[in-house]
Chains A and B, each alone.
Chain A
Amino acid sequence: MLRYTLRRVLQAIFVMLSVGFISFSMFTFVGDPILHMIGTEGTAADREALRNALGLNDPLIVQYVSFLGKMLTGDFGISYRLSMPVSDLIVERLPATLELAACAIALSIIIGIPLGIFTAIRRKSWVSQGILMGSLVGVSLPTFVIGMFLILIFSVNLGWLPAFGRGETAMVGNWSTGFLTTSGLRSLILPSIMLAFFQTTLIIRLVRAEMLEVLEQEYIRFARARGLSDRVIWFGEALKNTLVPVMTIVGLQMGSVIAFSIITETVFQWPGLGLLFIQAVENADIPVLATYLVLVSAFFVGLNLLVDLLYYLVDPRLRGGQGAPK
């Protein structure tokens, strides 16, 4: 267990160092930051002075190390556009994105797994065929189109739900949450559905495919030969085997939900990281872009690590021979 964990953690650290390097090099290669700060009016001497003050004349490796050091202490620099510490911006925006992503993931799991199981065990029913057809739409239709339809139907035509924003939020410590107010909860519904749509269809198809494969296994046949009922075979014997690979994919997809949220946040003007990122791209706000890159990678790497460790807990074969003499 220890070796397995250690290896995974080392890999994660290596990946983060690489990502750190890429985001660091954005500063050096994407335009001259000094020009951004002083503008074209400053003299060459001014620029040189600032360059020295900011340590930009140090060797690259020294700059990289000090960049990493700052990142680790939560100092992500200052936004060119807003002249605010990037860390403050992140703290302000992160809760919105995380709450949206959490709702979307929960929604896609709660809907996707049961529907996936249903379509696998009732393969020929009309309902299953319908669900699969619907999921094809979900896979192929761009998510922003779905978002716009949702707004058109539920906000514009029916007027039931807000079309943009987070509604009212309550502060719990530093965390601004939309879970505690009705308008916050109502605002979450449409963006969550839009963000969950693709994931749900993905999970349905994945669970179905895995379940069908598991049901063809010899141990399922042997279970039938022992007189186990369909219900026990589906939910007792097959389900756990089905969910092991599904867990991996869903875990990894969580990272892309956060990344995908850029589109959803744009459509719904959701004041989260994605919207911050889009605005930063428009203004070449390098510190924000670099921080976003590092942060999203950190999510991905963290989730990856978590999934690997979960795998270890679920699958006894990975745990090696230690279970035998108990």
Chain B
Amino acid sequence: MSALLEIRNLSATFATRRGIVSALSNIDLSLAPGEILALVGESGAGKSLASSCINGLLPRNCRISEGEVLLEGQRIDNLSNKQMEKIRGAQIGTIFQDPLTSLNPLYTVCQQITRTLRAHRYISDADAQKRALELLEEVGIPGAAQRLHAYPHEFSGGMRQRVVIAMALALRPKLIIADEPTTALDVSIQAQILELLRRLSKDHGASVILVTHDMGVVAETADRVAVLYAGRIAETGPVADVLLRPAHPYTQGLLGSIPSMERKLARLPQIPGSMPGLTAIPQGCAFNPRCPRTADVCRQVRPEAHLAGARRVFCHFAEELAS
């Protein structure tokens, strides 16, 4: 099966007042049709930025400096804004974190959905409205027919995120980027939204890139996971492998610091130090100053990918740690 999305050796930089700063460095990822890939990491690790590289909505001072992004074998990273407009929404649907601010307050839900449909195809008013209603029903808005002409502020947070999902998926994109889709929601609503996302991606045969910092969300939803640290991939592989038998010291530390019902500890273990800023990424392995296994080689040579089972681990001691 050929990949739906392929990211090859992608690097991105920020132009700041203190010069060019590397934000993403040599990212390789691929996504099979129907697959759900989670990008995890701390804030600032570059997971949202990586997803912005795919849909082309980079911040103004950021650009892709190296590498390519391929959607169904076609390069999309070098397209003009006009060409990307045709792809965004139609082939790549994006869901943002905060449903409160994702919707335009002055237009009804119906107006915003039909506007999305009209951006990509010729469709009559009546058909567009009918389709909007179907979409709202599909994402499980109760009484969708009555609420079609309601304004965003008349919906609760969870319902608004359903509306956002309906809009992002209005044109049946093959790729869905969900950028922290549940972070702004109540815990009780989170599971419902994730379940909805999973069901829709299955129904439509769409792949999902799920950006999150929540390991629980990863375990529940994703098929594969890529752990990002300081703009680089630390470890990627099937969720079960990475979460149950983490091979990279950073993943191990990350998972070790999650509270658990089984392990009763007086004090949660934590990784010493904090993630370096983009201007201060150390030489060699980016994680070396905080790593318990650090050796001379880590301070000098940036680790290559080491295969450990179905995983790729960017650590000099991957084989040893994985076994």
Contact = CB atoms under 8 A, between A and B. Distances in A.
A137 to B, nearest CB: 29
Nearest to A316: B151
Interface string A204-230: 000000000000011101111111111
B229 interface: no
Interface string B146-183: 11011101100000000010011011000000000000
Interface in A295-317: 314-317
A218 B115 contact: no
Interface stretch (A63-71, A90-98, A142-150, A234-242): A234-242
Given A244-B106, A325-B146, 13 more contacts: A218-B102, A219-B101, A221-B96, A224-B88, A225-B88, A225-B92, A226-B94, A229-B82, A232-B119, A237-B104, A316-B153, A323-B149, A324-B150
B96 A225 contact: yes
A3 interface: no
Most A-side CB within 10 Å, residue of B55, B104, B150: B104
Contacts of A224: 57, 88
A244 B107 CA distance: 13
B64 interface: no
Nearest to B56: A224
Interface string B72-101: 000000000110011111101110101001
Interface string B96-131: 101001111111000000011001100000000000
A228 B106 contact: no
B106 A314 contact: yes
A253 to B, nearest CB: 23
Which 3 residue pairs across A and B have the least CB separation, nearest first?
A: A227-B89, A225-B94, A218-B101
Interface of B: 55, 57, 81-82, 85-90, 92-94, 96, 98, 101-107, 115-116, 119-120, 146-147, 149-151, 153-154, 164, 167-168, 170-171
B153 A226 contact: no
A173 interface: no
Nearest to A236: B115
Contact of A226 (B106, B107, B151, B168): B168
Interface residues of A, number: 28
B175 to A, nearest CB: 12
A241 B101 contact: no
27 contacts: A218-B96, A218-B102, A219-B101, A222-B96, A222-B167, A225-B92, A226-B89, A227-B85, A227-B89, A227-B90, A227-B116, A227-B119, A228-B85, A229-B82, A229-B85, A232-B115, A232-B119, A237-B107, A237-B115, A240-B106, A241-B106, A315-B106, A316-B106, A323-B149, A323-B150, A323-B154, A324-B154
A225 B55 contact: yes
Contacts of B86: 227
Given A228-B89, A317-B153, A324-B147, A241 B105 contact: yes
A13 to B, nearest CB: 31
Q: Is the interface of A mostly helix, strand, loop or mixed?
A: helix
Nearest to A315: B106
A252 B147 CA distance: 36
B141 to A, nearest CB: 12
B117 to A, nearest CB: 10
Contacts of B154: 321, 323-324
B208 to A, nearest CB: 15
A225 B97 CA distance: 13
Contacts of B170: 226
Nearest to A225: B94
Contacts of A244: 106
Contacts of A324: 146-147, 150, 154
Nearest to B167: A226
A225 B89 contact: yes
A237 B167 CA distance: 15
Given A226-B168, A228-B116, A219 B89 contact: no
A222 B146 CA distance: 25
Contact of B120 (A227, A230, A316): A227
Contacts of A217: 101
A255 to B, nearest CB: 26
Nearest to A219: B104
B88 A219 contact: no
Nearest to B89: A227
Contacts of B167: 222, 226
